[in-house]
């Protein structure tokens, strides 16, 4: 891949440049048939390149740790979107930015240009630790014990390109909440951190095993308190256990939540404690955020607001009073999370000039501008008005979360974005008081996988179908009663009724009218719990049962009759077991183990060597026709097979491999472990060839 830079552009970090060049090389190898498709898919996903519903183009996921987005980075992303895509930026529920319709061949150049402003694609998709999220108010939250942003940043940097997190059975999601209110949904992540101060020391409540998807799980409390400096060791220990014991064949059962469900929380924590004995407690640099002073932030010109009533409503629904005296945050409601590159560039200029130059992407697909002076708010209101960014109701009932659905996703069943837009308009017009309601959250997913977070919504929908009178009708499943309880607890919403997607707005209308009549002064979930599931089924069954109308065969925003069209999703990455691909992995890990050993990165080298052992064992089992479902079973079964074939090693195979659990990654052990891994690989290659010859002779006989 050729690289072009002007003299004014930054020189890329050599590690980053190597990554980008490698992506270009692998694209060429894949297109010329030299690289297996599954191996290439895993590689591109781990670099943020994701196949979309439309053939021949890719979705690019840009990883923004805890949603932090500097003004210059927003400008860069906007420029890249114009150059390589369609000029639309999509904000996600994991505080990423996605751009769609990108040619695969252009992805290395796109990545290189993003890196000029330190924006990465690395590990944004695939079987890796995904973007680490945090409360959008972290650092400015009056209720926070301390700012969790530096810890999210440090953990992100620690895990980026970490060998432990490159080839797991499935993805891992991590979140930091700023307070016990748990606005980052720590209770729904594989690892969730809630800040605490105990005896004057900073630390976190650690939650594990949460997740959405087809079967949502609430996280369990692993530790009520761990010291802040120990979060890195605990994270690595949990990842090592998940990597070794997690499911490897059935990807719908391969998340951490299913491992915990299988072996129990107590056993998982026992295994974690074993790993902690050898995990290096490295000194991780946690840099405190330097808060701007009032004097350092420009004051905007005095401005007369044209529509004072709308301004006051905007101030009430969209302005957040920071813990820093005399500073305010402006909250931008972004419908469907979509913002054009043209608007984004102009927004970046405003942010750069009249705040501290930083935005945050929120998990409800909006943006906030931090550190704005109160006297500047009227001016910024008028400037944002020119950009159509003064929509009322940030994080309210009219701020509906929705995944892209059938717009671009292979797994989408229903058009979640179209329903979301129309429902927002309907509530704003017919239930205007809910613009200021932050109790009721509506969330919509295009399918049951819950990228739109419907499983924890007060009112949620996910895409489905209904077959009636021989016709396939686009439909939604309605769910009610989910939400946050605080301090790591939450509620999964309950299924109520399925109905045609065109009736979803009518269903919400009925529910809100009944709530206003019978809910009195109750919070929505109390109203729901007091009445119970069957009450709402009875409330809506007549609506659901009405005859199908002609227009109900069309999904929202569609002109053609509904037809089921679901592709193969890539959210889970891929399972790779073909012999050619395994050998490719082994060769790659040998080079990496050798390189990191020479660089004295001993813990990295040890983990690469561990993967040489495991992949070599996979190759042996594959040649023998044996099946396995975890790295642990690979190690055990290969150990038995090597004993059966009278293979002599320095120590039994299992004991050699699991030296990673008993030895600290220092120079002597790292060198010996690598040497043993190479020997095992050579012996297994020979044994595989020998077994193949025996089978061939048996066939001939």
CATH number at residue 266: 3.30.413.10
Same domain, 57 and 163: no
3-class DSSP state for residue 178? coil
pLDDT computed for residue 98 by the predictor: 97
Same domain, 469 and 592: no
Q: In the chain, what is the straight-line distance between the N-terminal and C-terminal CA atoms, in Å?
A: 52
Dihedral pair phi/psi, residue 330, rounded to 5°: -95, 125
Residue 132 and residue 95 in contact, taking contact as beta carbons nearer than 8 Å: no
pLDDT computed for residue 184 by the predictor: 97
Measured CA to CA in angstroms, residue 175 lies from 178, 345, 565 at distances of 10, 29, 33
| pLDDT surpassing 50 at residue 177 | yes
Question: Does residue 635 form part of some domain?
Answer: yes
Other beta carbons within 10 Å of 356? 20
Question: Does residue 570 form part of some domain?
Answer: no
pLDDT digits (tens, 9 = 90+) for 646-699: 999 999 999 999 999 999 999 999 999 999 999 999 999 999 888 777 665 654
Least confident of 60-64, 441-445, 452-456, 564-568: 564-568
Q: How many domains does the chain have?
A: 5
Same domain, 149 and 254: yes
Question: Does residue 395 form part of some domain?
Answer: no
pLDDT digits (tens, 9 = 90+) for 458-511: 999 999 999 887 788 899 999 999 999 999 999 999 999 999 999 999 999 999
Same domain, 422 and 527: yes
Give 210-215 contacts, CB < 8 A, sequence gap 24+.
210/185, 210/186, 210/257, 211/173, 211/255, 211/256, 211/257, 212/188, 212/449, 212/450, 212/451, 212/453, 212/455, 212/456, 213/255, 213/448, 213/449, 213/450, 214/252, 214/448, 214/449, 214/450
Least confident of 292-296, 320-324, 524-528, 662-666: 292-296
Residue 412 and residue 404 in contact, taking contact as beta carbons nearer than 8 Å: yes
Closest CA to 454 of 507, 393, 402: 402
| Gap between the Cα atoms of 421 and 404, Å rounded | 12
| pLDDT surpassing 80 at residue 354 | yes
- Average pLDDT of the chain to the nearest whole number: 92
pLDDT computed for residue 4 by the predictor: 35
pLDDT digits (tens, 9 = 90+) for 223-248: 999 999 999 999 999 999 999 999 99
Same domain, 408 and 379: no
Residue 379 and residue 300 in contact, taking contact as beta carbons nearer than 8 Å: yes
Where residue 10 falls among pLDDT bands split at 50, 70, 90? low
Where residue 566 falls among pLDDT bands split at 50, 70, 90? low
Question: Does residue 687 form part of some domain?
Answer: yes
Q: Residue 553 has which token pair? A: 């065969």
pLDDT computed for residue 483 by the predictor: 96
The mean pLDDT of 117-142, rounded to a whole number, is: 97
Tell me whether residue 426 is exposed, middle or buried, using C-beta atoms within 10 angstroms of its C-beta: 0 to 12, 13 to 18, 19 or more.
middle
The partner residues of 176 in beta bridges, in order of sequence, read 134, 193
Domain holding 64: CATH number? 3.90.480.20
Same domain, 600 and 479: no
Pairing of strands 68-70, 367-373: unpaired
For residue 458, what are the contacts with CB-CB under 8 A and spacing of at least 6? 439, 440, 441, 442, 480, 481, 482, 483, 493, 524, 525, 528
Pairing of strands 442-445, 459-468: parallel
> In terms of pLDDT, which residue wins out, 579 or 318?
318
Same domain, 37 and 64: yes
Same domain, 143 and 79: no
| Gap between the Cα atoms of 201 and 219, Å rounded | 24
Q: Residue 437 has which token pair? A: 């309601």
Residue 279 and residue 662 in contact, taking contact as beta carbons nearer than 8 Å: no
Question: Does residue 423 form part of some domain?
Answer: yes
Closest CA to 417 of 427, 405, 425, 426: 405
Please indicate, yes or no, whether the overall pTM of this predicted structure exceeds 0.85: yes
Domain holding 365: CATH number? 3.30.70.3340
pLDDT digits (tens, 9 = 90+) for 590-606: 999 999 999 999 999 99
Where residue 6 falls among pLDDT bands split at 50, 70, 90? very low
pLDDT computed for residue 308 by the predictor: 97
DSSP per-residue letters across 309-350:
HHHHHHHHHHEEE-SSTTEEEEEE--GGGEEEHHHHHHHHHH
pLDDT digits (tens, 9 = 90+) for 416-451: 999 999 999 999 999 999 999 999 999 999 988 888
| pLDDT surpassing 50 at residue 1 | no
Tokens 């440049």 correspond to what residue?
A: 17
| pLDDT surpassing 60 at residue 9 | no
Question: Does residue 253 form part of some domain?
Answer: yes
Question: Does residue 45 form part of some domain?
Answer: yes
Same domain, 406 and 546: yes
pLDDT computed for residue 696 by the predictor: 58
Where residue 571 falls among pLDDT bands split at 50, 70, 90? low
| Gap between the Cα atoms of 564 and 64, Å rounded | 34
Same domain, 348 and 412: no
| pLDDT surpassing 90 at residue 293 | no
Percent pLDDT > 90 in the chain is 80
Question: Does residue 451 form part of some domain?
Answer: yes
Alpha helix stretches (DSSP H) within 360-503 = 377-386, 416-430
Tokens 């505080």 correspond to what residue?
A: 95
3-class DSSP state for residue 690? helix
pLDDT computed for residue 576 by the predictor: 46
Its domain, for residue 91, covers 14-115
Same domain, 373 and 422: no
Domain holding 687: CATH number? 1.20.120
Closest CA to 130 of 104, 160, 154: 160
Same domain, 237 and 316: no
Closest CA to 315 of 263, 378, 267: 378
The 3 state secondary structure assigned to 61-108 is EEECHHHEEEHHHHHHHHHHHHHHCCCEEEECCCCCEEEEEECHHHHH
| Radius of gyration from C-alpha coordinates of the chain | 27
């Amino acid at each position: 891949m050729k690289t072009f830079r002007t003299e004014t552009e930054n020189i890329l970090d050599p590690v980053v440049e190597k990554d980008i060049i490698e992506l270009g090389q692998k694209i060429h190898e894949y297109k010329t048939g030299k690289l297996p498709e599954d191996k290439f898919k895993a590689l591109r996903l781990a670099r943020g390149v994701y196949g979309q519903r439309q053939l021949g183009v890719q979705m690019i996921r840009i990883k923004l740790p805890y949603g932090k987005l500097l003004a210059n980075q927003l400008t860069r992303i906007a420029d890249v979107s114009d150059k390589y895509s369609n000029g639309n930026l999509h904000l996600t529920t994991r505080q990423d930015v996605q751009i769609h319709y990108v040619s695969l061949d252009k992805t290395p150049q796109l990545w290189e240009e993003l890196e000029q402003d330190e924006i990465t694609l690395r590990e944004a998709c695939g079987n890796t630790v995904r973007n680490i999220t945090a409360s959008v108010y972290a650092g400015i939250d009056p209720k926070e014990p301390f700012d969790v942003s530096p810890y999210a940043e440090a953990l992100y940097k620690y895990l980026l390109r970490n060998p432990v997190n490159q080839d797991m059975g499935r993805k891992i999601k991590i979140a930091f909440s700023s307070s016990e209110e748990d606005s980052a949904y720590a209770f729904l992540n594989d690892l969730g951190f809630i800040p605490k101060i105990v005896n004057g020391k900073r630390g976190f409540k650690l939650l594990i095993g949460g997740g959405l998807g087809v079967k949502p799980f609430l996280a369990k409390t692993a530790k009520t308190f761990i010291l802040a400096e120990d979060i890195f060791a605990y994270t690595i220990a949990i990842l090592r256990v998940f990597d070794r014991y997690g499911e490897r064949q059935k990807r719908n059962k391969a998340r951490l939540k299913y491992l915990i469900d299988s072996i129990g929380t107590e056993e998982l924590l026992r295994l974690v404690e074993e790993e902690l004995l050898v995990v290096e407690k490295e000194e991780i640099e946690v840099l405190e955020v330097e808060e701007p002073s009032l004097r350092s932030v420009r004051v905007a010109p005095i401005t007369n607001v044209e529509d004072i009533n709308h301004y006051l409503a905007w101030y009430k629904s969209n302005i957040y009073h920071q813990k820093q005296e005399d500073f305010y945050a402006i909250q931008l409601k972004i419908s469907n999370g979509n913002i054009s590159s043209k608007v984004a560039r102009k927004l970046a200029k405003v942010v750069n000039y009249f705040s501290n130059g930083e935005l945050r992407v929120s998990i409800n697909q909006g943006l906030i501008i931090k550190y704005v002076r109160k006297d500047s708010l009227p001016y910024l209101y008028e400037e944002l008005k020119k950009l159509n960014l003064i929509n009322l109701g940030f994080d309210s009932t009219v701020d509906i979360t929705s995944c892209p659905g059938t717009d671009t996703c292979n797994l989408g069943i229903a058009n979640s974005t179209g329903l979301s837009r129309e429902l927002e308009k309907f509530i704003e017009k017919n239930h205007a008081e809910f613009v200021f309601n932050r109790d009721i959250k509506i969330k919509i997913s295009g399918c049951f996988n819950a990228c739109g977070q419907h499983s924890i919504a007060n009112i949620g929908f996910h895409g489905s179908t209904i077959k009636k009178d021989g016709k396939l009708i686009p439909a939604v499943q309605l769910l009610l009663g989910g939400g946050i309880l605080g301090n790591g607890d939450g509620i999964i919403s309950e299924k109520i009724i399925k109905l045609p997607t065109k009736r979803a707005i009518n269903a919400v209308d009925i529910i809100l009218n009944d709530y206003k009549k019978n809910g009195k002064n109750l919070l929505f979930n109390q109203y729901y719990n007091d009445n119970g599931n069957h009450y709402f089924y009875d409330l809506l069954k007549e609506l659901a049962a009405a005859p199908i109308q002609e227009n109900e065969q069309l999904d929202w925003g569609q002109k053609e009759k509904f037809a089921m069209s679901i592709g193969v999703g890539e959210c889970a990455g891929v399972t790779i077991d073909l012999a050619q691909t395994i050998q490719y992995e082994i060769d790659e890990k040998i080079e990496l183990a050798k390189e990191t050993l020479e660089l004295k990165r001993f813990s990295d080298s040890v983990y690469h060597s561990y993967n040489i052992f495991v992949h070599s064992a996979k190759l042996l089992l594959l040649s023998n026709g044996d099946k396995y479902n975890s790295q642990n079973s690979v190690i055990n079964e290969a150990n038995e097979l090597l004993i059966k074939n009278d293979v002599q090693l320095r120590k039994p195979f299992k004991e050699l491999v699991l030296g990673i659990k008993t030895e600290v990654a220092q120079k002597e052990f790292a060198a010996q472990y690598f040497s043993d891994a190479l020997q095992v690989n050579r012996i297994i290659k020979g044994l595989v060839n020998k077994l193949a010859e025996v089978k061939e002779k048996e066939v001939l006989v």
